[in-house]
Structure 1
Amino acid sequence: MLTNSNRQFKKKQLTRKLLKDAFIDLILENNDVNSITISEITDRADFNRGTFYIHYLDKIDLLEDLYQDAIEGIHECIMKPYRNTDKVVFNGAIPSIKLIFEHIEEHKRLYKSLDLIENNTDIYHRLEQFLWNLFTKEIEIERETDALETDYEVFLSFQIHATVGVIKYWIKKNFIFPTNYMSEQLTSFYSDKVIAMNFKNQKSNEP
């Protein structure tokens, strides 16, 4: 049975979702974010301006929520297959890569709208920074012996830029290839170099 606090939380989440969906629609229609007004967003979502300001400070605050949704979605895809373990060994396939492409396809309107926003902290710069922090602070990539000749940070920089570059290509090409094909393509960049990932802040359930 839902409590009042649970109902209020669900209502808040629904309102924010409708505002975000309206904003995404307008970005895709205008191919731009700067010309969109708060009144247009609230009209599209069928709310008044007062409702908007209950949830967001301004349009930039709403845009930041879209960026957060995108990055958190990819973070969830990376971590989901490996919960409750401190190490995972790969044998060709990397499950998280397939989940990333499936997630982006499921939320393609979000990612396509963010792709249209060009600035110094666009979705691709943010994704690169997120992956850098993830693989320097939370996850350590274990490499094949021949790959150890390359400095870890140089290796990591190459892998991150390659990953984001493939994602960027797919989005800008309007998702012309299926998710399985894209995950196979990106996995091929890793399969001969990456053998395992060590999770620094997770503990296995095993005794």
Structure 2
Amino acid sequence: MEKTIWNLWNVENYLSNRILAFILEGRNEMDRISYLKCKLGVESIVVNLSKLLFIYTSALILSVGVETLILHLSFLTIRVFAYGEHAGSSFGCIISSILLFVGSTSMLVEGLLFSEGALLFLQLINVLILSKYAPGVTSKNPVGSEEKKRRRRIQAMCSCMVVTAFAMCVPVLLIQNLLIVGNFLSSVTVLPVLSKKMTEENGK
């Protein structure tokens, strides 16, 4: 399992092993491949939950928990279709996620807000980025055929436009900003310049 801050005390390993033991309890037989798939799935869930724990603990400490959740969900509406780059390690993922989600949210909550016109312009940039570069193919998310790439690209762009329409119907400028900025952060992760930088860092 990948090393993280949380795993310095073997907490992730302990939880993964306990959950795996509970799942396998009472099962008489399981071939090695099925066991490894189950083990990998459990470890992946535990690792991701531990990352969320760090992110949202930071958000709650700064009293921006709900706002961070809104921005994060908006980020995911693009991410699930467009994919995009990942940090090279769990530690890097935690730090970058705190900076992106909690940091961006905190600045918006403090009053650094875009006007509605600026938000619409930002979403236009998002659509242009997605139309040209989505989906962001990585080793973790190989998209496959050109047809599947085209479908993912269209889904990401449609999701972006749906979020835009929803945001413009919300009468609260802060929430509009959280929704649009969340989309923007996700779109940026598919840019080739970021992909090249992450690849170089991972190769060091």
TM over 0.5: no
Higher helix share: 2
* Superposition TM-score, scaled by structure 2 size: 0.31
Name the structure where strand makes up a greater proportion of residues. Answer: 1
Q: TM-score, normalised by structure 1?
A: 0.30
